[in-house]
Amino acid sequence: MDHPTPTSRLVSADHCSSLRHKGMYVMAEPDPKESKYFDAYDATAYWCLRTQRAVGPDGLPVHADTCRMGRGCCEP
């Protein structure tokens, strides 16, 4: 069975390929009329695909700000 590749407006190619959040598995387009409800505060719960936890293999927290190329455990 083919599974769709998770995508996100919060995670890009600059991030570790193991970075995940539950919004990546929602196969719906956001409603443009509701965009006014988004603010600068990111309350998204992230996890690492490799550890299945909110900490990466290096023991540091998982977040879109920190799980980027250059981090020791980051996978392209």
Which pLDDT tens digit goes with each residue over 20-71? Answer: 988 777 777 666 676 555 556 667 899 999 999 999 999 999 999 999 999 9
Q: Is 32 a domain residue?
A: no
Q: What pLDDT sits at residue 19? A: 92
Can you read off the two tokens belonging to residue 1? 């069975």
- For residue 67, the model assigns a pLDDT of 94
CB-CB contact of 21 with 46 (8 Å): yes
28/16 Cα distance (integer angstroms): 23
Count of domains forming the chain:
1
Q: Which domain holds residue 18?
A: 1-27+42-71
Considering only residues 21 and 4, tell me which one the structure prediction assigns the higher pLDDT: 21
> How much is the pLDDT for 24?
79
Residue 50 belongs to some domain of the structure: yes
